[in-house]
A and B are shown apart, each in its own frame.
Chain A
Amino acid sequence: MAVFELPEWTALAPALILVATALVLFAFDSINPRTTNRSLLAGTSAIGSLTALGVAVWFMLAGVGTPSVDGGRGVVELFDGQFVVDQMALFFMIVVAVVTALVAVASYDYMADHAYQAEYYSLVMLAATGMATMAAANSLVTIFIALELASLPSYALVSILKDNRGSVEAGLKYFLIGALSSAIFVYGISLVYGATGHLQLDAIAENLEGAEAYGGLLGLGILMLIGGFAFKTASVPFHFWAPEAYEGAPAPISAFLSSASKAAGFVIAFRVFTTAFPIEATTAVIGIDWSLAFVILAIVTMTLGNFAAATQDNVKRMLAYSSIGHAGYALIGLAGLSADGGELVMGAAMMHLLVYGFMNTGAFLFVALAEYWGVGRTFEDYNGLAKQAPVACFALGIFMFSLAGIPPLGGFFSKYFLFVGAIEAGMLVVAAALVVNSALSLYYYSRLVKAVWIEEPVAERDTLAQPTGLYAAIVFAAVLTVIALPVFGPIADAALEAATVVVN
């Protein structure tokens, strides 16, 4: 295919397109400060992210990142291996780009009367750039830079509703915990560097043997790196910021953080732990199998997230805690790496993150719609919405049942594959925890469906507006969640292939 005739740096095109869009938006803002031309701004963002999506899909179909293609030229390494574009990178770029596009379209209505229009969209695009770069980063330095590039705009985005105390408070909490976890992460990096003398992931793996004298140091470093990932993916024990930040942030940003940012956090975790710390070699040095830490994290995270979600009265907080629960499901991908079927489990986790990208974004966008209508935040406030907005509520039903893992929706497939993968990897306790948690999650997800469809409204409501952008984004997310069904074969193949490349 023609793609191999392009210069090598073009392999990063999806991330570059995102950053270019951010700069274009920035230019709009310089030419006409305080522009309120929402169609132009949201349209540019959407077109930018959709172009990035198209390019990423094209690369994936063209075989970029497949080692077997074209005599091993498939995987593109850039800047002496600081970045690597393989199938896993492209897979997660697709996730990020889809979510960004949905968020951009939905923000058209949500941010309608907002002061910093252009800033908002360029911050979103910059954060998306950071996340796409995280997918391709292959050295602890580039990973850290990408992580911060994704985080800094996110702090601003969470607190962008600056007249709203909740938003500002959420931003502050997010920032403080983020700064702390960044510090821990950097310290972990320095320990790993101290033990092995390298920052590039494959070089770390090659030099693990020389680190035998510093086993304790390396182990501590790895533990601190895990802390950094746990923050970004909102996993226990660094999950406290998530409900606060998601609740205070504008709902499209909650969707963005809980879907795209989480997926990006997972891709660096996948890459660091598969490439830099191969289990056997690392265990020989530090004396402990690190995948055990993820087994514990996975079980604790999913259980805590689900139990906390079940007790919420506020819909957004419920979704926030449920997103912690889903981080626990995705952690199974790392927990199962030490077993034979490691690539199966990790592929399943990647599929789950992809499907989660649609269904969770859709769920938060529904909350955005409810906030747009001003109907309130609790389950009771949502009562009877289906009478006035059947289409959006139908989509909400799809998201909820998919998140709960009810067939035939996408969420069932990815959870099922995680379940099978966990069993094949011999992690019966994890598999059992997954099933029990899924069964439990049905309780609070169906509560929301019950509220909108079955309950009668508490008070009479005026007719609800039908904002085009939000509706389009929600319906599109719902269609993607359902369409995942017939095309799950190719998705599963792509994810498994990508996982196999990284794991071996």
Chain B
Amino acid sequence: MIIEALIAVALVGALVTVIAPNRIAGKLAFAISLIPAALSLWMFTAFDGSGNALLDGELAFESRTEWIQLGDYAISWFVGLDGISLPLVVLTTVLTTLAIMSSWTPIDERESQFYGLLLFIEANLIGVFTALDFFVWFIFWEAVLIPMYLLIGVWGGPRRKYAAIKFFVYTNVASLLMFGAFITLVFGLGDAVTSFALPEIATAMTEGGPEGFVGLGGSTLASLVFVAMFIGFAVKVPVVPFHTWLPDAHVEAPTPASVLLAGVLLKMGTYALLRFNFTMFPEQVATYAVPIAAIAVISVIYGAMLALAQTDLKRIVAYSSVSSMGYVILGLIAYTQFGVGGATFQMVSHGLISGLMFMAVGVIYNATHTRMVTDMSGMADRMPVAVGILVAGAFGYMGLPLMSGFFGEFTIFFGAFGAEQLPYSQVFTPLAMFGIVVVAGYLLFALQRTVFGPYHLETDYEVGRAPLHDVAPMFVLLGIIIVLGVAPELIFEMITDAVDPILENGGEL
């Protein structure tokens, strides 16, 4: 029942926060969010699951209750954790707590609603990473949209309406496509499945796959579903060419929403790809390996190039997410232990680093009221601590050893280079590695202009050191990034434990 407790605390907390008066809402939400964070950390230490949740693994904290019986299909409340979902749940709870703390300064209107929505998102994100019944999972998946839409639309920047609608329409249409595809698959599986439980569907897929539906043969159906679901999730990730909603959403979103958006929401896409496409359709993964790897490499290079062309610090960080998530896709399609494991590790690592970067940019923006690289110079003099953290985060992004980004990217490249399933892997991998050069290029370029040199920003107010509660969450994140960089086996072991069954299922181990 501990997963239910996590979700319930966040939900009830959201309700309490919405009702609470504005002036205490921030502190109250922070206090409430400590409970799921502490619970999830306890879960991390008490984790005793093994194997993959969808492929006969031993789940931790599993709970399953019959809910609705509709026709031939049962829907049940079914949640549980394996080595892939647990790190992401911890990431969600920790990042939410830190995001709440980081919004004390910038959010100054309708606070109780703002913090309520943050907690509501947290509840749904935990649901997405723990639900093992498609129906329950989809409810959480879609419910994330509503608070994010409001967070961008109400508290966002000047073009917030456009960005909010674009975000909603893109991701909702993608969800509909994915939903339709998956339901078709369930019908296509015929009598082999009697419920929406993901393990049952995964088993049915490995034991024969779909029989066919409405005149489509089994393998055609599987291919169509694979492609439709890939596109559905790819929008969320996002990969080129479905990425255009992301910079808009990021730039307009308030800092804490950006932190959650980049830190956790994008991982929903790659997590779902791993759970659905890469676990249930090993044959199609092999078939479509080359185009997917091409998409991954294009996302890496093109995203980095776009970042290089930006002058808005937040846009730079936003576009860099496109290229970082490209690495994750490359790791997944490599379909080796290091590739898929590294991709999962990179999901966590990118969540931490991009969260850190957005917080740092947010703190600088709070002080200077500008995000233009061209306006700033010599920030190191005025805000040494915040800028120091920005630099550290940028090094993490570039993959400096002993930080988590290095381990994530290294294992992905290592896994991808030797991938047997992926044709031309020796071409794709170096191409993607070239992205690192561009990343280093635009980050150093941006840092050089903002951090160093003489200070010349013209403002009517004093630009000085950020308050402690602004920098404290960044220190915590930096600490985690370094800990995971030094001791990646803290989570990498449980990840590979859950990843191996996927590869065995696909005949790769």
User: What chain A residues lie within 8 Å of B214 (beta carbons)?
Assistant: 428
> In the complex the two chains form, what is the Cα distance from A171 to B39 in whole Å?
60
Given the complex of chains A and B, what is the CA–CA distance between A178 and B70 in angstroms? 38
Shortest CB-to-CB span from A382 to chain B, Å, is 15
Q: How many of B's residues come within 8 Å of A, CB to CB?
A: 35
A401: contacting residue among B70, B138, B146, B180, CB under 8 A: B146
Residues of A425-446 at the interface with B, using a CB-CB cut-off of 8 Å, are 428, 435, 439, 442, 446
B68 adjacent to A423 (CB under 8 Å) = no
Q: Are B70 and A446 in contact (CB under 8 A)?
A: no
Least Cβ distance of A478 to chain B in Å? 12
Does A501 sit within 8 A of B, measured CB to CB?
no
> B71, A439: Cβ atoms under 8 Å?
no
Instruction: Kindly state whether residue B329 has any CB partner on chain A within 8 Å.
Output: no
* CB < 8 Å neighbour of B70 from A397, A420, A455: A420
Cβ of B483 within 8 Å of any chain A Cβ, yes or no, is no
Residue B310 at the A interface, CB < 8 A?
A: no
Q: Within the assembled complex, what's the spacing in Å between the Cα atoms of A181 and B97?
A: 61
| CB of A347 to closest CB in B, whole Å | 9
Once A450-B161, A454-B161 are accepted as A-B contacts, the answer to whether A489 and B154 lie under 8 Å apart by CB is: no
Contact of B173 among A420, A424, A428, A439 (CB under 8 A): A439
**Does B192 belong to the interface (CB within 8 Å)?**
no
Complex interface residues of chain A between 442 and 479 (CB less than 8 A to chain B)? 442, 446, 450, 453-455
User: Does A390 lie within 8 Å of B71, measured CB to CB?
Assistant: no
Contact of A407 among B72, B139, B154 (CB under 8 A): B139
Q: Tell me how many residues of A have a C-beta within 8 Å of chain B.
A: 31
Closest to A443 in B: B169
Q: Are A412 and B139 in contact (CB under 8 A)?
A: yes
Alpha-carbon distance between A496 and B72 when the two chains are bound, in angstroms: 13
Q: Does B153 contact A (CB under 8 A)?
A: yes
Q: How far is the CA of A442 from the CA of B175 in the complex (A)?
A: 13
Whether the Cβ atoms of B138 and A341 lie closer than 8 Å is no
B196 CB, min distance to chain A CBs, angstroms = 11
Check if A392 is an interface residue, CB within 8 A of chain B.
Answer: no
Contacting pair A408 B68 (CB below 8 A)? no
Residue in A387, A423, A442 whose Cβ sees the most chain B Cβ within 10 Å: A423
The reply to whether A344 and B150 contact each other, CB–CB distance below 8 Å, is no
Q: Are A406 and B161 in contact (CB under 8 A)?
A: no
Complex Cα distance, B113 from A387, in Å, reads 11
Interface flag for A421 (CB, 8 Å): yes
Q: Are B142 and A454 in contact (CB under 8 A)?
A: no
In the assembled complex, the Cα of A408 lies from the Cα of B141 at a distance in Å of: 9
Q: Are B142 and A407 in contact (CB under 8 A)?
A: yes
Q: How far is the CB of B90 from chain A (nearest CB, A)?
A: 24
CA distance A493 to B146 in the complex (A): 29
B68 engages A488 (CB within 8 Å): yes
Contacts of A390 in B (CB 8 A): 110, 113
Chain B positions within 8 Å of A442 at CB level = 172
Out of B110, B145, B153, B173, which one reaches A450, CB within 8 Å?
B153
Assembled-state Cα–Cα distance A464/B214 (Å)? 55
Given A446-B168, A488-B68, A420 contacting B153 (CB threshold 8 A): no
Inside 8 A of B140's CB, which chain A residues have their CB? 407-408
Is the Cβ of A439 less than 8 Å from the Cβ of B161? Answer: no
* Residues A424 and B143 in contact, CB atoms below 8 Å apart: no
Q: Are A454 and B70 in contact (CB under 8 A)?
A: no
* Residues on A facing B (Cβ under 8 Å): 341, 344, 387, 390, 394, 397, 401, 406-408, 412, 417, 419-421, 423-424, 428, 435, 439, 442, 446, 450, 453-455, 488-489, 492-493, 496
A to B CB contacts below 8 Å, 6 in the list:
A420-B71, A420-B183, A421-B71, A424-B187, A454-B153, A454-B160
